[in-house]
Structure formats: C-alpha cells, structure tokens
Amino acid sequence: MKKQFFYAAMALAVMSSCSKDNDPGNGNPEESNDRAVIALGVDAPAVTANTRGTGSVGDVAGDDNKWNSQRLFIYMVDQETGLEAQEGAEGAKKAIFDNTALEFRAPKADAKDQGAIRIYNNYVEDTDNGVIQYKYYPSNGRYTFYGYHIDDATGATTDIEAKTVTGVTINGTQDLLAATTIGMAADDATNDQSLYKNIANTLTGEWADLMNYQFGARTARKGIVPILKFEHQLARLKFFVRAGSPSAAGWEHDGTAWVERQSTDGQNEPLGMQVTRITLKDMVDVVDINLAEPSSKRNGNSTASFVVCSKDPANKNKLDPAKGLIEPVVPKYPKDHAQIPTTGNDPDAKGTQVGEPVMFLPNGNIELSIDLKQYVEDTKDETQGDKVTYKYVEKLDTPLTIDQTKISEDVKEFKPGASYNVYITIYGFEKIEVTAVLTAWENGGDIDADIEDGK
C-alpha cells in the first residue's frame, strides 16, 4: 500500500505543478505561484474496518482491512489562526473544505490505491462514482486536516475550533472513526513504518527544510500528500454460537461425513437450536469525539439496547435495528466433536457467526439476552407406524453476561479500537422422559393359621 500511495502522490504532484488558476502553466514550481492541488491520503483502517448503518469499517489486520467508499467528513484548519481555511474574495469567503457542498469518500474496496481520498461535488451512491472536485492550497500558510466517519449516526454537532464532534447518537451499527494529520518526521526516510518513507527518500536533501512547511502549497508541489490516520473510537463484538450438545447442532456425523439434521415431517426444517435475536442491554448511546487526540467519551447518562442485525441485501446491505431481527442461525457442529474440520477454511469450525458485528463504547461488562427456538418432536403416533409430528418451541430473553475479565488477551477490559470474538455455547431442548420402575413385592414369610387354634 505504501508504494501505491507514493505513486498516487507523485501523480498528484505533477497535476498540481501544472495547474495555475485551473489553467496549464509553466515555471519553476519552487518559485512560482502555481496553484497546488489539495490531495489527502488515508492509512488503512486501524483495526477491523454497515442503523441503518453500513457496519464496521475494515477488519483485523490483513487483506480484508480495506476501506469501502465510506463517507468522511474532512476539515482543513489554518495552523496560525486555528480556524477553517477560507477561500474567495473578502466579504464572501467560505471554507475551502465545505462538507455541506462536498462529499469526501474513502477509497473503493477494489481501488488499486487504497490511500487516496476522493472529493466530489456530485456523488452518486448507487454507482459509487461522481464528479471529482479539485481544491487548491492558498499560496502561503500551513494547514492541518481533521476528519471523522460516523456513518448515519444522528445528533452530531461539529465544532472545528474546539476540534470536537459532540452528541453522536449510536445504536451499535455505526463504526465511529476520527483522524488528525500524521506529521512528517525527521526519520521518515529510514522508518519502515512511516507512510512518508518513499517520498522522503526521493527528497532526502530537502526533507528537513520541507518539514517547516507542512502542510501547504510548497509541500504539495513536492508530491507530499498529508495522510490522515483514522482510528476506531468504539470497540467491536463479533458473535459466534457453538452447540454444547448434539441436539443443538445443525449437523451430525454419520461415521463418514457430516450431514444436516432435518425434520422427517416433509417440512425439512433444521432440528438444531436457532438463535433468533441477541440484545445488548443498557449500552452507552451518546458519544463525544475529540478529533485532536483522537479519543471519545460518554456524553451524559443515556443508555439504549443494541441488537445484532443481519445485512439487508435488498437495501444496499445496510443494517436496520428497527427490524430487530437476524437471520436465524444454527450452530453447525457439536462443540468438541472429534470430526470437526481442523484444516481448510471452514468458517464454522470454531463457531457459527451470528449477524454483523456490534460497535460500542467500552463501559464495563455487558449484559445481554438471547432468544432461541427449536423445531422439536411433538408427538409419535403408534397407530400410524410411529409417525412423528413436530412443533417450534421458543425460549426468550435468556440472560448472559459478557465478563471482560475473561478476555483472552493480557488487557482484561474492553478498549476502543479492539475487536472481540464472543463464542456463546447453547444447548438443545431435551425431551422430558420418565421411566416407570415396577418394584417387586418383598417376600415377608409364611404364616400358618388353624381355625381350631382360635380363642
């Protein structure tokens, strides 16, 4: 990704050095007043990285940790005044980065360069395309960029002078991210972790001097693109279920292969225990974000229930907690069975995932409830060859505590930016069977009685 970002930055540098008031221009880029294009980059999401929300951004480090056109709010701040950077004639100035008129989008999931933020004046969500808008640095000045992503969370109030976003109301489906500009450093050319390493190596003789001009027209003309590091402000839970008994599992092993357990009444219903709802109780639902750090904290004492959702394929794969339901999930394998696949890439080997992840502000242990149902045998008719009928039985609001002290890693408490896998073991309904045991009479001995012996 670093190389891709570097090449994109150089392309933008060529564009900016060949642009003056939107017209081609010549001259020494170090001395001319050629307008320099404002281009911004992003690092990969820091953890996992859609309500209706679109869910969590990205994933745990690896190939799946990519942006996917998420909407970003970006602000350009003058380092000298602390105010938003302005453009236009006196008396008619407006913010260069006007988030009401512009749409900032993270890279597409299939973008060759996962580093470049796209700026649109007209974005068409259905096609993930639009009209790119170019913006230019003022001829002087240094600027810092701040950004955040809140999906469709409501109630947010942005105060860029205070570098805060307050009153963000969440429901468990939004992934809140906040970012400030990563600064250039003296050791960027030798730091393997630096996203500026490649460009720093091409500007070895100038790097120390250019550090005094970050970020503005001069650094832009040298191909230096400010990078924003977006950090997750919430923690994430991914839920999985496992069958604690064979009767809860959706599959059974017949000695040679795994086969699905289905009813014999012609309905072909799954016989395993189904999870139909998971509700997280009393979750923090209003958050304030500090963009400068970045960090987040609770706003007030308000709480709400969060529900695990499944994506709606008919509605742009968005999540809707108002529906409050997930696609029923049955754990595939009985837990600890000797034949569970240990090789390959079977996603159900450790547990079967339930819905989409839930994002939350860490606030201690989590109390939740689980709704279960199972298709079980109801009657067996001996007059019709032991014909079996079935019915659904439900068990609602089964309580469970997620104890953060049981986290497998060293830190025994939930923390922002961390993703947790929660494996819940469930058990199938068991038939109530009573056996009647006939107790034999005890031999108490014989008694002889003679009528003539009577009194």
The domain boundary, picked from 190, 206, 232, lies at 232
Where residue 45 falls among pLDDT bands split at 50, 70, 90?
A: low
Q: What confidence score (pLDDT) does residue 68 get?
A: 85
Specify whether the CB–CB gap between 186 and 117 falls below 8 A. Answer: no
Q: Could you tell me the residue range of the domain that residue 46 belongs to? A: 2-232
- Does some domain include residue 164? yes
Which residue shows structure tokens 């950090």? 231
Per-residue model confidence (pLDDT) at position 60: 54
Region 265-285 average pLDDT: 94
Residue 65 domain-assigned? yes
Residue 454, pLDDT score: 67
Let me know: does 354 contact 385? Beta carbons within 8 Å: no
CA-CA distances (angstroms) from residue 52 to 57, 136, 177, 266, 310? 15, 35, 17, 38, 11
Whether 107 and 167 map to the same domain: the answer is yes
Query: Are 117 and 262 found together in one domain?
Result: no
Statement: residue 299 has pLDDT above 90: yes
Predicted confidence (pLDDT) at residue 409 exceeds the cutoff of 50: yes
Both 271 and 227 in one domain: the answer is no
Q: What three-state secondary structure class fits 144? A: strand
Residues 149 and 263 in one domain: no
pLDDT above 70 for 29: no
Rounded Cα–Cα distance for residues 170 and 359 (Å): 9
Measured between alpha carbons, how far is 142 from 80 in angstroms, rounded to an integer? 8
- pLDDT, one tens digit per residue, over 336-360 is 999 999 877 899 999 999 999 999 9
Asked which of 232, 248, 268 is the last residue of a domain, the reply is 232
Comparing 59-73, 133-147, 191-205, which segment has the lowest mean pLDDT?
Answer: 59-73
At which residue do the structure tokens 């987040």 appear?
Answer: 296
Tokens 């953060």, located at residue:
404
Residue of 338 and 7 predicted with greater confidence: 338
Query: How confident is the prediction for the chain on average, in pLDDT?
Result: 86
* Burial class of residue 293 in the structure, from the number of CB atoms within 10 Å of its CB (0-12 exposed, 13-18 middle, 19+ buried): exposed
- Comparison of pLDDT for 248 and 26, the residue scoring more: 248
Confidence of residue 200 (pLDDT cuts 50, 70, 90): very high
For residue 278, being part of any structural domain is answered with yes
Rounded Cα distance, 234 and 149, in Å: 12
| DSSP H/E element including 367 | strand 366-381
- Residue 422 has a pLDDT of 94
181 shares a domain with 41: yes
Hey, what are 164's tokens?
């805060």
pLDDT, tens digit, 9 for 90 and up, residues 360-394: 999 999 999 999 999 999 999 889 888 999 999 99
Report the range of poorest mean pLDDT among 12-26, 139-153, 201-215, 282-296: 12-26
Q: Any bridge partners for residue 147, and if so which?
A: 74, 179
Q: So what's the pLDDT on residue 163?
A: 97
Residues 178 and 249 in one domain: no
- Answer for the pair 170, 153: CB distance below 8 angstroms, yes or no: yes
Q: Give me the DSSP letters along 244-256.
A: SSGGG-SEEE-SS
- Asked if 321 and 409 sit in the same domain, the reply is yes
What pLDDT score does 47 carry? Answer: 44
Percent helix / strand / coil, the chain, rounded to 5: 10, 35, 55
Backbone CA torsion sign across 315, 156, 293, 139: positive
Residue 30 forms part of a structural domain: yes
State which amino acid sits at residue 408. S
Q: pLDDT-based confidence at 22, cuts 50/70/90?
A: very low
> Is 434 inside any structural domain?
no
User: Can you give the pLDDT at residue 14?
Assistant: 42
CA–CA dist 66, 73 (Å, integer): 18
Give tens-digit pLDDT for 319-330.
Answer: 777 766 788 999
275 vs 316, higher pLDDT = 275
Residues 228 and 287 in one domain: no
Q: Indicate whether 280 and 384 sit together in one domain.
A: yes
Radius of gyration of the chain (CA): 32
Q: How far apart are CA 88 and CA 365, in angstroms?
A: 52
pLDDT band, residue 292 (cuts 50/70/90):
very high
Residue 134's pLDDT is 96
Residue 88 pLDDT exceeds 90: no
Look at 113-122, 150-159, 226-235 and tell me which has the smallest mean pLDDT: 113-122
> How many H helices and E strands in the chain?
4, 23
Whether the predicted pLDDT of 7 surpasses 50: no
Beta bridge partners of 120: 103, 132
Taking 50 as the threshold, does the pLDDT of residue 272 lie above it?
Answer: yes
Q: How many domains does the chain have?
A: 2
Q: Residue 59: CA atoms inside 13 Å, Cβ hemisphere, count? A: 10
Report d(CA 78, CA 84) in Å as an integer.
Answer: 6
Tell me what pLDDT residue 112 has.
Answer: 72
Label residue 430 by pLDDT band (50, 70, 90).
Answer: confident
- Separation between Cα atoms, residue 331 and residue 249, nearest integer Å: 5
Give residues with Cβ within 8 angstroms of 86, minimum separation 6: 93, 94, 95, 96
Minimum mean pLDDT among 50-64, 140-154, 275-289: which range?
50-64
At 137, is the pLDDT very low, low, confident or very high (cuts 50, 70, 90)? Answer: very high
Q: For residue 114, is pLDDT > 90?
A: no
The mean pLDDT of 419-430, rounded to a whole number, is: 92
Q: Is residue 449, in this structure, part of any structural domain at all?
A: no
Residue 451's Cβ-count burial label (10 Å; 0-12, 13-18, 19+) is exposed
- Let me know whether 295 and 409 are in one domain: yes
Question: SS3 of 274, please?
Answer: strand
Question: Do 256 and 325 have their domain in common?
Answer: yes
Domain membership flag for residue 390: yes
pLDDT score, position 48 = 39
DSSP 8: H
Give me the pLDDT at residue 50, please: 35
pLDDT at residue number 111: 72
In this prediction, residue 99 carries a pLDDT of 95
Judge if 144 and 59 occupy the same domain: yes
Q: Is residue 131 part of a domain?
A: yes
Of the residues 207, 232, 257, the one at which a domain ends: 232
Please list, in sequence order, all residues whose beta carbon lies within 8 angstroms of the beta carbon of residue 359, skipping any fewer than 6 positions away. 56, 170, 172, 173, 174, 175, 176, 234, 235, 236
